[in-house]
Structure 1
Amino acid sequence: MKAIPVPAIAGAYLFEPTPHVDERGFFCRTFDREVVAGVGIDPDGFAQDSVSRSVRGVVRGMHLRSGAGEAKLVRCSSGEVFDVVVDLRPDSPTFRNREFFLLSGETQVTLYVPAGCAHGFQALTDLADVSYRIDRPHDPAEDLAIAFDDPELAIPWPLPPTLLSERDRTAPPLSAALTRISGVIA
């Protein structure tokens, strides 16, 4: 497994596994504490694992947490998703940068999203399973959402969105989230 820095988002990494393929399919490591620690991430600093299943066209996001934020490892274990990260850390050298990734069950690549970044994805296949490993217990009172179609973000979702949660459908614009998380006037 190797760690690949994401230049557009300071502190973000892609962890690319080395699959062992044979006639049965494949086997690969999806987490390696030594590789994670080697780039300065505490491998023991994760508190919860979760998984979501989405159907083609579903958009989940853009989400982040207030307070101390939430760092996460994200991997599409089955299917394929268009994944988006937006840096909303006011002191970051990549503040307001956004980056897009294609995560799939074929590659098993894991994305590390630093705390303070908004994250979302769109399912590109009939079913897509996304696994999350977060660095602190979930607290719904800290949940923030940003409009997935905010013109300031201009995210090029590959498919027309088919299903959204009520929270995502009515999420406020980026400017409101920035005010809430840091007092920044957008």
Structure 2
Amino acid sequence: MRVERTPLEGVLLFVPTPHHDDRGLFTRTFDTALAEKLGLEPFVQDSQSRSRRGVIRGMHGRTGRGEAKLVRCARGAVYDVVVDARPDSPTFGQRFSVVLDDEKFLSLYVPPGMLHGFQALSEEADVCYRIDRPHDPAEDVTVRYDDPELAIPWPLPVTVVSERDRTAGSWAELRARLVGEPYPAG
């Protein structure tokens, strides 16, 4: 397994080496020793979602000390997007996207302070999340998936979005809150 840096500070791609034979394949999807060598916090909780083609989940983040996550698509394919929401980061406000699927087995490490979301590209997609602390809904932050300032180029027509994601605030509102500036009213 190798690790690739992305254009966003601290966002990493874990690239496994699948071994194929007449039975199918075998691949490692996580390596604690490698994570420790990189200085990543231990992961404490695993979750999984299943989404139908066109569904968007995001853009989600956490307040407080944030939440690191390792994301992979165990079945199907997703277009995965990360936005840097760390005001002190040299890549603040920038985004990175990658296709995660059940063919390349990439895992995306998302450090604390990021917004994260994805769109299911296959008929169904199972996304696995490994996080570094228990989820606390009181710390949830959501920015609209179709925020014009973020201008995320979702590859498919949107089929389903949760009420929470549909009614989320804007990137400009969150950015103003993060940098301590008032957001101009209407």
TM-score normalised by L of structure 2: 0.94
Q: What is the CA–CA distance in structure 2 between the aligned matches of 1:71 and 1:57, rounded to whole Å? A: 26
Deviation per residue, 1:114-140 (Å, 9 max, x gap): 100100000000000000001110000
**Structure 1 residue 183 displacement after superposition:** 2.7
Which residue is 1:94 aligned to? Answer: 91
Which residue is 2:131 aligned to? Answer: 134
- Cα RMSD, aligned residues only: 1.3
**Structure 1 residue 34 displacement after superposition:** 1.9
- The equivalences for 1:100-139 within 5 A come to 100-139=97-136
User: Residue type matched to 1:5 in 2?
Assistant: R
User: Residue type matched to 2:169 in 1?
Assistant: P
Which residue is 1:49 aligned to? Answer: 46
In the alignment, structure 1 residue 4 sits paired with structure 2 residue 1: no
**Structure 1 residue 180 displacement after superposition:** 4.1
- The equivalences for 1:24-173 within 5 A come to 24-42=23-41, 45-173=42-170
Deviation per residue, 1:149-168 (Å, 9 max, x gap): 00110000000110011001
Identity %: 58
Q: What is the CA–CA distance in structure 2 between the aligned matches of 1:95 and 1:185, rounded to whole Å? A: 18
SS at match of 1:121: strand
Q: What is the CA–CA distance in structure 1 between the aligned matches of 2:22 and 2:119, rounded to whole Å? A: 31
8 Å CA contact 1:66, 1:181 repeated in 2: no
1:55–1:3 CA distance, 2 compared to 1 (3 A): same
**Structure 1 residue 40 displacement after superposition:** 2.1
SS at match of 2:36: helix
Runs of 4+ in 1 over 6 A off after TM superposition: none
TM-score normalised by L of structure 1: 0.94
Q: What is the CA–CA distance in structure 2 between the aligned matches of 1:184 and 1:73, rounded to whole Å? A: 31
8 Å CA contact 2:29, 2:107 repeated in 1: yes
User: Residue type matched to 2:144 in 1?
Assistant: A
**Structure 1 residue 178 displacement after superposition:** 2.6
Q: What is the CA–CA distance in structure 2 between the aligned matches of 1:103 and 1:56, rounded to whole Å? A: 14
Deviation per residue, 1:23-54 (Å, 9 max, x gap): 22111100011222222213xx2111000000
User: Residue type matched to 1:137 in 2?
Assistant: P
8 Å CA contact 1:49, 1:133 repeated in 2: yes
Give unmatched runs, 5+ long, in structure 1.
Answer: none
Q: What is the CA–CA distance in structure 1 between the aligned matches of 2:134 and 2:177, rounded to whole Å? A: 21
